[in-house]
Chain A
Amino acid sequence: MEKVLLKNIDNPDSADIGQYLKSGGYQSLPKALTMEPKDIIEEVKKSGLRGRGGAGFPVAMKWTFASADPKFPKYLLCNADEGEPGTFKDRPILEKNPHLLIEGMAISGHALKAEYGYIYLRGEYPAAKHILEAAIGQAYDKGFLGDDILGKGIRFHLAVHQGAGAYICGEETALIESLEGDKGQPRIKPPFPVNVGVFSKPTVVNNVETLSNLPYVLEIGGEAYSKIGSPDCPGPKIYCVSGHVERPGVYELPMGTNLRDIIYTHCGGIRGGRQLKAVIPGGISTPVLPPDKIDCPMDFVNMPKHGSMLGSGAVIVMDESVCLVKVCYRALRFFEHESCGKCTPCREGTGWLRKILGRIENGEGMDGDMDLLLSVSGNMLGKTFCPLGDGAASVVQNFIKHFRPEFEEHLRTGACTVKG
């Protein structure tokens, strides 16, 4: 498949506007500016594009809701708070292909009649901040951003807003709170951001990878785009693979590529010919899978049928050297650290789960700890304010579902038999 999102990233000048223009960039924006906003949304609807941040929500539907709201100004926010552990798919776009994102945002801004956009960039990507700001400056100079884009009387302004280390800000309402200068704690929905978002105005929040698809959707047309990859959620997808494979990294492949093929064909299989033990397919919040359950198309529609989720497409591969009790414990340390503290089941539950897992891992587990883990996590599922708590609970439930004997072994012997 021709690369769309990671095109040219091996070129050392790929972040420069000259290089982007030379490789055919900023051709879709002029086209978009001659179209009516509703016609762009119609094209996106035909494309079948779904949000790439993890939820897979249809982009055109979100845009239609925001467009239908009579309040102005409207805002377009790019979620570049890529914090889901295992995820590094947006970073190459931000650092190597920033103009693709900027063009995508200018197109989307016109489609939404949004005049202002912000890229909410995680604090952990300081290099990307400088690269994006330089690229935005170049785009202003060339008239691709500003009060009168390419002389068409259309306005779109864009700025980078740097986060400061809070996983929760990847949740769209927490992101909005943070952009407004507050702690990143999620808001209750409804009202939804498409009606009452940042600065109380209609707001669309889309992921970096999502927005970066827009130039291509307009280039080849929604119809042609919808033929790429999975029929129910088409398009190119960046899978980022880490852990014990021969060739970890980012892979742009058609949406719906089989998980086993990603691991064994594209990434060269398990390092050193070792045995596969477990795969987390879509970032740490998504349900872990044992080796006999990885024959599944990696997309938003099919992964739930196979017991997991696509999430951010962040595949973490673990071989036989890994102790899964330890991984589960480390995951819960993460969730406890990142819980925003707003709702009780998540704030308390993540801490309790971390403590129980910690004592099992340290050989101090107690009778009944397995039931306790299931009970605490069961009481969190569906009862937390936002998906962070659900993610934490489901990690525990799924590690136990597939790897219970390993936990029980730790409890019985007080030791770990895995040879790291």
Chain B
Amino acid sequence: MFSEEAIKELDGIKAKYPTARAALLPAIYVAQREFGWLSADAYEAVADILGVPRAIARGVGTFYAMYKNMPAGRNVVQLCTNVSCMILGAEKLVDFLKNKYGLEPGGTTPDKRFSLVIMECIGACGTAPAMLVNDDFYENLTENSIEGILGKYK
């Protein structure tokens, strides 16, 4: 069940569209924030509040790469390894995360501090390699700088 505050927020979102269905993507974002990840219960809450079939809510939510369909760590490291980042060393950074933090692509550290998601271009190609940690952009990454950056996330 959504909190009262979230319900109010969802009402505001629905008002932006002529159909309740169009609020599905933003509503899934709200559910992800409220419940931490998108469990079957979270999808049910989304489906019920918008009046869309549960299978549709889950079908749509699992199509998109950025929804958390599994429990994730407290901080999500989203590292780009597409061509512009790859040719400037992104793969070495993937290895570094593995060796230094035991963090595998698609995995989460045992202390639940970090999850790692390999991204398909985050639009920071001119300052590659780049990553997002949660909603924060970090660019021109090196092994050294990554270590300093991740130190800020507990």
Residue with the highest number of chain B CB atoms closer than 10 Å, among A123, A165, A184: A165
The segment from A17-25, A173-181, A357-365, A404-412 that touches chain B is: A173-181
Q: Chain A contacts of B152 at CB under 8 A? A: none
Task: Tell me if A334 counts as interface (CB < 8 A to partner B).
Answer: yes
Q: Chain A contacts of B126 at CB under 8 A? A: 88, 240-242, 248-250
- Cβ distance B69 to chain A, nearest Cβ, rounded Å: 11
Task: Tell me if B150 counts as interface (CB < 8 A to partner A).
Answer: no
Complex alpha-carbon distance, A249 and B128, angstroms:
10
- Do A126 and B83 have beta carbons less than 8 Å apart? no
Q: Chain A contacts of B86 at CB under 8 A? A: 326-327, 330
Q: Chain B contacts of A122 at CB under 8 A? A: 123
- Do B121 and A127 have beta carbons less than 8 Å apart? no
Task: Tell me if A318 counts as interface (CB < 8 A to partner B).
Answer: yes
Task: Tell me if A348 counts as interface (CB < 8 A to partner B).
Answer: no
Q: Chain A contacts of B122 at CB under 8 A? A: 124
Task: Tell me if A244 counts as interface (CB < 8 A to partner B).
Answer: yes
- Do B21 and A181 have beta carbons less than 8 Å apart? yes
Complex alpha-carbon distance, A159 and B25, angstroms:
14
Question: Given that A127-B135, A180-B21 are known contacts, is A165 also in contact with B123, CB under 8 Å in the complex?
Answer: no
Q: Categorize the interface residue count of chain A.
A: 35 or more
Question: Given that A164-B25, A322-B87 are known contacts, is A242 also in contact with B135, CB under 8 Å in the complex?
Answer: no
- Do B125 and A184 have beta carbons less than 8 Å apart? no
Task: Tell me if B24 counts as interface (CB < 8 A to partner A).
Answer: yes
Complex alpha-carbon distance, A58 and B84, angstroms:
30
The segment from B59-67, B94-102, B107-115 that touches chain A is: B59-67
Complex alpha-carbon distance, A162 and B64, angstroms:
12
- Do A242 and B18 have beta carbons less than 8 Å apart? no
- Do A248 and B127 have beta carbons less than 8 Å apart? yes
Task: Tell me if B45 counts as interface (CB < 8 A to partner A).
Answer: no
- Do A182 and B19 have beta carbons less than 8 Å apart? no
- Do B82 and A166 have beta carbons less than 8 Å apart? no
Task: Tell me if B124 counts as interface (CB < 8 A to partner A).
Answer: yes
Task: Tell me if B137 counts as interface (CB < 8 A to partner A).
Answer: yes
Task: Tell me if B147 counts as interface (CB < 8 A to partner A).
Answer: no
**A residues 61-104 with Cβ under 8 Å of B?**
82-88, 90-91
Task: Tell me if A163 counts as interface (CB < 8 A to partner B).
Answer: yes
Question: Given that A165-B66, A182-B60, A318-B87 are known contacts, is A87 also in contact with B26, CB under 8 Å in the complex?
Answer: no
Task: Tell me if B103 counts as interface (CB < 8 A to partner A).
Answer: no
Task: Tell me if A414 counts as interface (CB < 8 A to partner B).
Answer: no
- Among A159, A242, A338, the residue within 8 A (CB) of B125 is A242
**A residues 343-401 with Cβ under 8 Å of B?**
none
- Do A181 and B25 have beta carbons less than 8 Å apart? yes
Which residues on A are within 8 Å of B, measured CB to CB? 82-88, 90-91, 122-127, 159, 161-167, 178-184, 199, 240-244, 248-250, 280, 284, 314, 316, 318, 321-322, 326-327, 330-331, 334, 337-338, 340
Sample of 15 further A-B pairs with CB below 8 A, known A165-B66, A181-B19, A316-B83: A85-B121, A86-B82, A88-B125, A124-B123, A124-B132, A125-B123, A164-B66, A166-B63, A179-B22, A182-B21, A199-B18, A242-B84, A242-B128, A243-B87, A243-B125
